[in-house]
């Protein structure tokens, strides 16, 4: 079976590292020994097992991409970098016609979509790569479109907890607020409660100590103003394995699309990936 070339960007970040570890052990992939990283990263290389990755910073990537593409004529980039790099990385990928999967949250999402649609580059963009959570979002979207104002008059509270190093508000939480507002609530994403304090996460929320450095807990609470009725939705993820399997599915999906020369659509989501199965 032909291996799929992938470039995992975001090392030495935790999600990128987890993906790289899994990819190196997976015979379906050939992992490029390069990774885009932030300008602030001091290391020049990063080692996982016996694989040495050259870390490429924004000020050198334009000079180095030709060397990378001469070694690997085709590959799919997987982006788990930093919210501040989302839009500049997308411009880089589209400029050099590198198909990519954007798992990084944050940035200007409308601009991100516009850049891809106006390019000749295919991409899967999703604020969450976990298939089960994406499926849950799809159910909420269906409910929002089918039963608008179902929760009209209810007050919404959104609490999300991630590891201390996550800089931005959860993209999944933001998307869910959109569905709940269609269902009748009146909630601003700026009111989402972001919890990044490990002590509070462990003692108040009950997050296992082993997963304080890598988790995603979300709770959406709907209650009537008089407190007589309450609905609660939650999805709590410990670790990062669930994101790895979803990202791999997105890689195979994108590889299939790239094999079809008549593909007109450029921008895909994890819903498209789920619908493939």
Q: Say which of 17, 18, 131, 162 is annotated catalytic.
A: 162
166 is an active site residue: yes
One of 131, 166, 218, 266 is an active-site residue; which one? Answer: 166
Residue appearing with tokens 């990755």: 53
Judge whether 260 counts as a catalytic residue. Answer: no
Residue 2, class by beta-carbon neighbours within 10 Å (0-12 exposed, 13-18 middle, 19+ buried)?
A: exposed
Beta bridge partners of 160: 194, 218
User: Could you give the residue numbers annotated as active site?
Assistant: 162, 166
């Amino acid at each position: 079976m032909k291996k799929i070339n992938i470039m995992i960007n975001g090392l030495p970040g935790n999600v990128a590292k987890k993906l790289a570890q899994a990819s190196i052990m997976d015979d379906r992939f050939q992992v490029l020994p390069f990774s885009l990283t932030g300008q602030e990263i001091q290391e020049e290389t990063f080692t996982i097992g016996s694989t040495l990755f050259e870390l490429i910073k924004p000020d050198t990537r334009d000079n180095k991409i030709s060397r990378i593409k001469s070694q690997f004529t085709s590959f799919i980039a997987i982006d788990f970098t930093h919210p501040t790099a989302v839009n500049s990385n997308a411009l880089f990928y589209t400029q050099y016609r590198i198909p990519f999967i954007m798992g990084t949250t944050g940035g200007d999402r409308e601009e991100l979509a516009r850049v891809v649609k106006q390019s000749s580059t295919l991409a899967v963009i999703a604020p969450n790569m976990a298939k089960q959570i994406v499926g849950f979002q799809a159910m909420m979207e269906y409910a929002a479109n089918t039963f608008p104002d179902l929760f009209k008059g209810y007050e919404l509270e959104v609490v999300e907890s991630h590891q201390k190093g996550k800089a931005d508000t959860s993209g999944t939480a933001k998307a869910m607020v959109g569905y709940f507002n269609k269902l009748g609530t009146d909630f601003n994403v700026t009111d989402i409660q972001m919890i990044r304090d490990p002590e509070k996460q462990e003692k108040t929320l009950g997050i296992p100590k082993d997963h304080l450095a890598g988790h995603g807990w979300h709770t959406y609470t709907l209650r009537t103003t008089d407190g007589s009725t309450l609905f609660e939705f939650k999805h709590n993820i410990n670790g990062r394995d669930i994101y790895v399997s979803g990202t791999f599915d997105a890689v195979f999906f994108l590889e299939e699309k790239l094999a079809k020369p008549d593909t007109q659509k450029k921008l895909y989501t994890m819903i498209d990936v789920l619908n493939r199965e």
